[in-house]
Structure 1
């Protein structure tokens, strides 16, 4: 398939600037792949599609406050620094993006906070906007990380034009977030409330928790028409034996196994045995899923509504079928579903 197959007109007003008032009361579009039907529900109705022994695979990554603002030495110019990944704990080296990048060169120093106790030195250029920073801080590593948390803000995606609000700190995390390391939320999981999780648990649905630390590479634009030539950035993922056992047991019993989000799907599809079962996994994955693709683990998925030509749209199209997904997105635009990070959800069964 070609990049142009995933183009569609998305009215700007359908990009969700705020989350739904209650997590589980976002809208839910239900796609039945076998019968090619579309239903319109609320997210809390998702419970009606699952039975005892079914499994939901949850990504328990936790978003850290990755966006910092510093001032360049001498000029005092305000510079945005977006933390991508820690390269070396002992030396406090980080891969970052800077904006505006044209002002930041090797050797420059940036000062953060009113007291300027946190300083970073630029030691390398990695991409047009990418830099490697060495942070200089007198305290312990624990105190250094605490300082980053204090100075950082919730890294809402750039399409959200408003300022970060107090509610974003809570709403841009899933309620099952545990393992810090993501710079963007696994958005399908944002729709689960504590009450809904408890109802699912009472009904007998099992949960398999995996971790995939979402990086900005997930959202990088595809710039080649031939999708086989696109390279995904690597993201760190962990699947422990307990999660693998829960999933494999459900598969053996022919139960519904639902990947909650494209990140959960990418993690489990990156660790498949030759017999089609889920293996324990710890490492990096750059798996890019686009049609045609044969999925090995999940037979159901929950996802948000994605933007045109995105790798996320390509994955869900591979899962639901390209023509059916195209029809569903036409329906979503017509019915004014909310798109992207804080938008509505889709259940594909």
Structure 2
């Protein structure tokens, strides 16, 4: 299959607004669970998921935590007594420092690449507002910098050296729920739009397949003998970016940042590099690891930033080897998953690193050959989306059967909707 020439219109289906879940169920694990197993579709309740998983399997979760990434400032009005224009600043990714952990520990100053709402009303003057953090007033100033693709660099400065940026956004920020919910963020979203195992701040959207898990379901997984591991992929706003081109070759995938501990790579090897992925973000991370390992095999001295997986690399883009000679696809990615993951572990050892930090722009669509993910827990995705392409690739084009069943049996769709277990 020529993946680049897939027509996105072939991945459309009718999704009435009333089928989009605006709020989650009161009990997370009481959502419906569709089971697709080798072409056969059935249903159950999510709390019974562990019973469908093989004993001794490895299940991988994305432990990213959604940040309160939407910030609002008002311009100073030239007229007394009138409010100035409302400017929205939406945090996308760190600029200075460019490490997520260091960013949230910043004091006095930091910078982000951001989307800016009502940009035409913001000329060049800094914006500022005063908030209260730990019972102390703090004035934060936002200044516009250079354009960075479709985003802008925004520098933030605040006048209290004892207040971190993490505390700033907790006080000033708003949780960015998906735009298709067509409602304002509510206080309840601060809890319901986070997984119960979220730990590492950085996402602007939740890894929503994980929203169904409860401590009780996690305990049942342990009882079932399912091994659990976590990795981190910070979900970017690009996850909602629609495919506007007729063929997916014209769609540019967003870059997302990942962190995978040495322990997780070791667990993958122990499980023969076969995993059950919770959510498409875990899929994108696990599958990207294979290509990163192949890069290491071709160049053992490769730098961390060169491990980035480009959008079309799995489909035939050239791969440089140690001598800089371009290799054909067939020569580039011929390692087994075990060889690839072992190469990443050896690379971490040589560089004295406990955790792999990198990024991926991978697009997974029909024609893609899955390397590591053997089972997938995922929600129901938007029509004509890259996530639907990922699902179609996983079930070998049988996505219509799954979505037709879900539509006919009152399943709830998208972020706060129901879930599925896919076993191709």
Q: TM-score, normalization: structure 2?
A: 0.77
Q: Distance in 1 between matches of 2:164 and 2:260?
A: 30
| Residue range with higher mean Cα deviation, 173-182 or 107-116 | 107-116
CA contact under 8 A between 1:118 and 1:135: conserved in structure 2?
yes
* Cα displacement string for residues 43-86 of structure 1 (whole angstroms, at most 9, x for unaligned residues): 11111111321111100111111111111233621122211111
Say yes or no: does 1:225 pair with 2:259: no
Question: What is the DSSP-based 3-state SS (H/G/I as helix, E as strand, rest coil) of the residue aligned with 2:367?
Answer: coil
Which residue of 2 is the match for residue 30 of structure 1? Answer: 35
Distance 1:51 1:220, change over 3 A: same
Q: Distance in 2 between matches of 1:150 and 1:201?
A: 37
The equivalent position to 1:290 in structure 2, one of 330, 344, 365, is 365
Aligned length: 341
CA contact under 8 A between 2:138 and 2:159: conserved in structure 1?
no
Alignment of 1:150-299 (within 5 A): 150-251=171-272, 257-272=275-290, 273=293, 274-277=335-338, 278=341, 279=344, 281-299=356-374
Q: Distance in 2 between matches of 1:300 and 1:251?
A: 14
Question: What is the DSSP-based 3-state SS (H/G/I as helix, E as strand, rest coil) of the residue aligned with 2:223?
Answer: helix
Which residue of 1 is the match for residue 326 of structure 2? Answer: none
The equivalent position to 1:312 in structure 2, one of 364, 387, 394, is 387
Say yes or no: does 1:332 pair with 2:406: yes
Which residue of 2 is the match for residue 122 of structure 1? Answer: 144
Which residue of 2 is the match for residue 133 of structure 1? Answer: 154
Q: Distance in 2 between matches of 1:260 and 1:244?
A: 16
Say yes or no: does 1:149 pair with 2:159: no
CA contact under 8 A between 1:68 and 1:81: conserved in structure 2?
yes
| Residue range with higher mean Cα deviation, 304-313 or 152-161 | 152-161
Which residue of 2 is the match for residue 102 of structure 1? Answer: 120
Question: What is the DSSP-based 3-state SS (H/G/I as helix, E as strand, rest coil) of the residue aligned with 1:318?
Answer: helix
User: Aligned-pair distance for 1:25?
Assistant: 0.9
Say yes or no: does 1:51 pair with 2:54: yes
C-alpha RMSD of the superposition = 1.8
Runs of 4+ in 1 over 6 A off after TM superposition: none
Question: What is the DSSP-based 3-state SS (H/G/I as helix, E as strand, rest coil) of the residue aligned with 2:60?
Answer: strand
User: Aligned-pair distance for 1:141?
Assistant: 7.3
User: Aligned-pair distance for 1:124?
Assistant: 2.3
Q: Distance in 2 between matches of 1:112 and 1:82?
A: 16
| Residue range with higher mean Cα deviation, 296-305 or 273-282 | 273-282
CA contact under 8 A between 1:70 and 1:113: conserved in structure 2?
no
CA contact under 8 A between 1:47 and 1:200: conserved in structure 2?
yes
Distance 1:348 1:223, change over 3 A: same
CA contact under 8 A between 2:138 and 2:158: conserved in structure 1?
no
Q: Distance in 1 between matches of 2:182 and 2:247?
A: 32
Which residue of 2 is the match for residue 347 of structure 1? Answer: 421
| Residue range with higher mean Cα deviation, 80-89 or 96-105 | 96-105
Unaligned runs of 5+ residues in structure 2 are 1-5, 79-83, 98-105, 132-136, 294-334, 346-355
User: Aligned-pair distance for 1:116?
Assistant: 7.2
CA contact under 8 A between 1:137 and 1:144: conserved in structure 2?
no
